[in-house]
Amino acid sequence: MGVEIKERRVSEEEFAAMEEFVFEYLAASVEREEEGGRMRWYPWHSAEYRYNHIRNVVDLAAEIARKEGADVDVTRVAALFHDVAKLDAEQDVHAEEGARVARQYLETHCDYPESFLDEVCRSIEDHSYQGPLEDLSLETQCLIEADLLDKVGANGAVLMMLRMGYEARTHMDAAEMVERVLERGHEAEERIRSDAAESVVHRRLKRVRWLREWLTEELSNVDPRSAEGPVDFDR
């Protein structure tokens, strides 16, 4: 069963204020980069990209939490803060640092019970856990499943294609890059446990399989060695 926090619920106004804080924190992390912040390897590792990922995880985690009987407030707030420190902390400590930032914000801007803060921060700290999800609270399971799912499907395929361009690859490598998304999806499929998350991953993997099949079919007839001069995209 999920955690029950009966004394206080999170209002939409409070959650909107948290969203604004998280985006501003991410933007400030980018501005501080020359002062020692962690360098991002790819151009879409920006405040905008990271915030979009966070919003996707919030929506997915809340959907899973509702269907699985977890505490939606704990899950949503933990999801919102789970990567808040991603741009200014090392990867192996960003979860702990995110929990610290979340606790500081919640203690100074809100009036929630200590039990609520503890559950939220524990979920943030554990969201990078690589062991069995059964070891964790239901709210943390929902967060981890949502985090895995955002890297699968059409969104994951597009991000891989952006990476392909950044690595100076051509469209001939597109099917290979989409295959990586499928591999990531199968890894996620093995980890997730809830019926709600399984439904999402199956739906998203189906889309990626279609895309891979289309790319394989259309690119199999293209011989890059036969090209003479630039491609006329207006033809």
How much is the pTM? 0.84
Q: In this predicted structure, what is the pLDDT of residue 36? A: 44
Residues of the chain where predicted confidence (pLDDT) is lower than 50: 1, 5-6, 36-39, 226-235
Domains with residue ranges and CATH for the chain: 12-131 (1.10.3210.10), 154-221 (no CATH)
What does 164-227 look like in DSSP terms, one character per residue? HHHTT--GGGHHHHHHHHHHHHHHHHHH---HHHHHHHHHHHHHHHHHHHHHHHHHTT--GGG-
Q: In this predicted structure, what is the pLDDT of residue 235? A: 39
- Cβ proximity of 40 and 87 under 8 Å: yes
3-state SS, 80-144, equals HHCCCCCCCCCHHHHHHHHHHHHHHHHHHHCCCCHHHHHHHHHHHHHCCCCCCHHHCCHHHHHHH
3-state DSSP call for residue 45?
coil
Q: Average pLDDT over the chain, rounded to whole?
A: 85
Report which secondary-structure segment, H or E, holds 49: helix 47-68
Which of these, 168, 160, 24, lies nearest to 84 by C-alpha position?
Answer: 24
pLDDT digits (tens, 9 = 90+) for 74-108: 999 999 999 999 988 888 999 999 999 999 999 99
